[in-house]
Amino acid sequence: MNAQHSKADIHIHSTYSDGMAGVAAILEHVARETDLRLIAITDHDTIAGALLARQIAREYGVEVIVGEEVSTAEGHLLALFIDRWLPPGRPAAETIAAVHAQGGLCVAAHAFDPLVPSLGSAGLAARCTSVRAGEWPLDGVEAFNAGSWIAASNRRADAFGAALGLARCGGSDSHNLATVGRGYTLFPGASADDLYRAIVRGQTAPGGARWRFQDYLEIATYRAKGRWQRGRVAPQVEAPVLAEVPSRVL
């Protein structure tokens, strides 16, 4: 890795959605076991864990980006650099506009993976024609998702991002500690502001290695148990979190 570049894992799940580790455990693992400079907690349809992680991140010497993997009507979207919760189920175009309205950035998660809800299955190629253009004005595409079972889906996403001039990002899609950092985004600089600028300018590169078989097995077992438990817990509705939106220098 170039000394002037850093690694960020922009796709991590905690126990606030379907991850196996709490935010404190994730931060400790990042600090002790990885060379990541910053991470984004992107739980499904909630920012509660990400806000907590940002609050305690200084204790671990790790910088945290508040994010959310939003379940839009057409597929999953990574919303990064946000401060307010984005409800699921809305059209992707509406969600993208809401992210941009609060100064955040939008990255298509596992964009062409047919095994998970992805924007690529809903006409991404036709609806996103270039950087911040088209019906879906995305800022980037997850060109490498370490959890994608089908390697060709990553290759297609990478080629798509390169062809359209979108920032090509990488993420672990981690649901357990062992996979944190297995996918990452390489960017010039070291801070969250540096990463923000790099995504806007298309100066990122994806990298990493796919999950191991034991990672898939561990997470599949956990999810099976989680479905059994969730059937006995009343669902909760998250209230929006109001906060100042930090300014970003492009």
pLDDT digits (tens, 9 = 90+) for 44-71: 999 999 999 999 999 999 999 999 999 9
End-to-end CA distance of the chain: 24
d(CA 237, CA 48): 12
Q: What's the pLDDT score for residue 117?
A: 95
- Tell me how far apart the alpha carbons of residues 218 and 238 are, in angstroms, rounded to a whole number: 28
**Predicted pLDDT at 3:** 56
Distances (CA, A) of 30 to 53, 90, 244: 12, 33, 27
Q: What Å distances lie between residue 64 and 55, 56, 242, CA to CA?
A: 9, 9, 18
Question: Which residue, 186, 174, 185, is CA-closest to 211?
Answer: 174
pLDDT < 50 positions in the chain: 1, 228, 230-250
pLDDT score, position 224: 82
To which residue do tokens 């798509």 refer? 160
Confidence at residue 236, expressed as pLDDT on a 0 to 100 scale? 39
Residue 110 is which amino acid? H
User: Domains in the chain, start-ordered, CATH in brackets?
Assistant: 5-230 (3.20.20.140)
At 119, the amino acid letter reads: L
Query: Which residues touch 156 (CB under 8 Å, ≥6 apart)?
Result: 111, 112, 120
pLDDT at 223 (0 to 100): 78
Which among 42, 36, 34, 35 is positioned nearest to 12, based on CA atoms? 42
Query: In 44-104, at which residue ranges do the beta strands (DSSP E only) sit?
Result: 63-71, 76-80
